[in-house]
């Protein structure tokens, strides 16, 4: 994570506070420390994903219920981590427990379709205004299929990708995900920076990187590679660099430019899909792309993904020009959980509740920020939100690089030690509210935030 230290109110105080809070954090979690040591024997790095490793240590979990999660030391937290944006249902939601329990008793895997898939595809068509759908198992698989489809349909290899967007861990999109300030190159022609080791340079060379919210950069990319661009993929609201909203008109303009050059527009709504509203940014913006990728919140806590597309795009699947496959695609357990999520969890009433909580939380945080005159921004999009620790608004990834990463880390620690679990990547991630959260939950967050603000005030 980049840590360009620019606008910290009191730099030395922040370092000292981080050290103190990390000690508190470790003292509260002796059982996690033991399990990490034990895990290291046969689990590489002592974790099941590198993203579960946090500073000062990973938190091992016991269970979750409602809006709370419980770690292996028996400590409870208001869960605003949400399993990296998946747990919009909260934990052990009765409708999902019932649907999954019923399905488990009737067999969980056949690699043959079950009727729930038809209902879900219809419901996704209604919400996202795209007629045809397929299922997969993770956000990575969904964006991989979308990029493959665009290449299959156009016979072109290049794609345009936004600097700072994350689309999963397949080769084509592991480029300029979270590059450091000294790697990004000139703004008008950003470097294509490898997002991981093991990505062939031949694949990386197919990616044209552009800044977010810059239609001119997309026009230039298309003009310089005329007839070679299959698609542009982006998170229509960026959510792997805090939260960055698109400027008015941005999405419509890039869609028209891409279509003018025979290329497709792909929205990666893996994070934004159901958290920003019932039909994601697609419905909110009214700018419907050629393909939408969904995952995370779709399955109510069970692994599932979906790809939606226009008749033109999805005809390549329907007639076999592109083989969209997977042993677990449309898995009955995932379908049962997904159907329950769309029917009983993500209802209009639930969205009204989420909006009410988001407004309340935002108001409290803004009042605290005003008290201390920090000029930071509370950025919310439906059930998602974050505080941007910077006076100037963030419009693209390079602005985000300017944010003092230590404030995000300290905030995470102080929330955690104060009983609120946030995703452990400081300024990169956001909170997620669930339908089972209540006013007391958001007020706890606000109280911790006030304590944090007081601590870093000059
Ligand atoms: C926007 C976005 N797309 C794709 C992915 C990849 O999803 P998964 O981890 O399910 O493969 C993520 C994961 O965080 C994401 O945030």
Query: Cα of 211 to ligand 1 centre, how many Å?
Result: 20
How far apart (Å, rounded) are the C-alpha atoms in residues 160 and 115? Answer: 37
Model confidence at 239, pLDDT cuts 50, 70, 90, reads: very high
Q: What is the pLDDT of residue 212?
A: 98
Q: Is the CB of 161 under 6 A from ligand 1?
A: no
Report pLDDT digits (tens) over 409-435.
Answer: 999 999 999 999 999 877 899 999 999
Q: What is the largest CA-CA distance in the chain?
A: 65
Q: Give the tokens for residue 372.
A: 């201390």
Q: Is the CB of 167 under 6 A from ligand 1?
A: yes
Q: Determine what percent of the chain is predicted with pLDDT higher than 70.
A: 98
Atom of ligand 1 nearest to the CA of 165: 1
Residue whose CB lies within 8 A of the most ligand 1 atoms, among 295, 303, 425, 429, for a mutation test: 295
Q: Is the CB of 384 under 6 A from ligand 1?
A: no
The answer to whether the bond into 403 is cis (omega within 30° of 0) is no
Q: Give the tokens for residue 108.
A: 């969980």
Q: What is the pLDDT of residue 1?
A: 34
How far apart (Å, rounded) are the C-alpha atoms in residues 157 and 153? Answer: 10
Model confidence at 3, pLDDT cuts 50, 70, 90, reads: very low
Q: Is the CB of 275 under 6 A from ligand 1?
A: no
Specify the residue with its C-alpha closest to ligand 1, atom 5: 168
| CA-angle at 31, arms to 77 and 386, nearest 5° | 30
Q: What separation in angstroms does the CA of 447 have from each of 69, 139, 247, 368, 415?
A: 19, 34, 32, 9, 9
Query: Cα of 166 to ligand 1 centre, how many Å?
Result: 7
Query: Cα of 152 to ligand 1 centre, how many Å?
Result: 23
Please report the DSSP string for 287-324 in residue order. Answer: ---SEEEE-GGGGTTS--EEEEE-HHHHHHHHTTSS--
In angstroms, how far is CA 339 from the centroid of its own chain?
21
Report pLDDT digits (tens) over 303-315.
Answer: 999 999 999 999 9
Query: Cα of 359 to ligand 1 centre, how many Å?
Result: 26
How far apart (Å, rounded) are the C-alpha atoms in residues 139 and 221? Answer: 26
CB 222 within 8 A of CB 229: yes
Rg (CA), the chain: 22
Q: What is the pLDDT of residue 141?
A: 98
Model confidence at 152, pLDDT cuts 50, 70, 90, reads: very high
In terms of Cα–Cα distance, which of 265, 290, 268 is closest to 280?
A: 268
Query: Cα of 351 to ligand 1 centre, how many Å?
Result: 23
Q: Is the CB of 303 under 6 A from ligand 1?
A: no
Query: Cα of 162 to ligand 1 centre, how many Å?
Result: 15
Give the burial string for 431-448 (b: 16+ CB within 10 Å, else e).
Answer: bbbbbbbeeebbebbbeb
Report pLDDT digits (tens) over 103-137.
Answer: 999 999 999 999 999 999 999 999 999 999 999 99
Q: What is the pLDDT of residue 5?
A: 41
Q: Is the CB of 272 under 6 A from ligand 1?
A: no
DSSP run (H or E) holding 209: strand 207-210
Query: Cα of 138 to ligand 1 centre, how many Å?
Result: 7
The single residue listed with the structure tokens 């229509």 is: 236
Atom of ligand 1 nearest to the CA of 240: 16
Atom of ligand 1 nearest to the CA of 303: 10
Query: Cα of 140 to ligand 1 centre, how many Å?
Result: 6
In terms of Cα–Cα distance, which of 21, 12, 57, 20 is closest to 39?
A: 57
CB 68 within 8 A of CB 407: no
């Amino acid at each position: 994570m980049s840590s360009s230290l620019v606008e910290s109110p009191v730099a030395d105080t922040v370092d000292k506070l981080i050290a103190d809070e990390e000690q508190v954090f470790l003292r509260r979690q002796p059982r996690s420390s033991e399990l990490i040591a034990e895990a290291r024997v046969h689990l590489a790095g002592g974790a099941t994903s590198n993203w579960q490793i946090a500073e000062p240590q990973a938190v091992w979990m016991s269970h979750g219920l409602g809006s709370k999660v419980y770690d292996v030391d028996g400590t409870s937290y208001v869960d605003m981590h949400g399993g990296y944006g998946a747990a919009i249902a909260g934990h052990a939601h009765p409708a999902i427990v019932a649907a999954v329990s019923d399905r488990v008793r009737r067999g969980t895997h056949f690699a043959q379709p079950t009727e729930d898939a038809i209902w879900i595809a219809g419901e996704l068509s209604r919400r996202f205004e795209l007629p045809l759908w397929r299922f997969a198992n993770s956000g990575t698989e969904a964006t991989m299929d979308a990029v493959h489809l665009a290449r299959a349909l156009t016979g072109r290899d290049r794609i345009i990708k936004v600097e700072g967007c994350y689309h999963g861990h397949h080769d084509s999109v592991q480029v300029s995900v979270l590059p450091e300030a000294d790697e990004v190159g000139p703004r008008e022609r950003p470097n294509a920076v490898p997002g991981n080791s093991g990505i062939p340079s031949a694949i990386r060379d197919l990616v044209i990187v552009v800044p977010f919210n810059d239609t001119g950069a997309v026009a230039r990319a298309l003009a310089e590679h005329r007839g070679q661009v299959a698609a542009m993929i982006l998170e229509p609201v960026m959510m792997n660099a805090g939260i960055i909203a698109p400027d008015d008109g941005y999405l419509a303009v890039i869609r028209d430019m891409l279509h003018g050059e025979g290329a497709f527009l792909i929205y990666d709504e893996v994070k934004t899909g159901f958290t920003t509203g019932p039909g994601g940014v697609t419905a909110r913006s009214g700018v419907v792309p050629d393909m939408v990728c969904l995952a995370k919140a779709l399955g109510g806590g069970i692994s599932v993904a979906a790809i939606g597309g226009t008749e033109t795009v999805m005809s390549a699947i329907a007639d076999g020009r592109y083989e969209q496959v997977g042993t677990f695609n449309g898995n009955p357990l995932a379908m049962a959980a997904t159907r329950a999520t769309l029917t009983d969890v993500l209802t209009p009433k639930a969205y009204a509740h989420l909006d009410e909580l988001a407004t309340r939380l935002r108001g409290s945080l803004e009042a605290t920020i005003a008290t201390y005159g920090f000029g930071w921004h509370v950025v919310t999009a439906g059930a998602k939100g974050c505080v941007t620790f910077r006076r100037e608004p963030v419009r693209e990834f390079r602005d985000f690089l300017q944010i003092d990463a230590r404030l995000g880390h300290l905030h995470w620690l102080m929330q955690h030690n104060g009983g609120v679990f946030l995703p452990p990547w400081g300024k990169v991630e956001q909170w997620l509210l669930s339908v089972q959260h209540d006013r007391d939950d958001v007020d706890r967050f606000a109280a911790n935030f006030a304590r944090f603000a007081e601590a870093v005030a000059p």
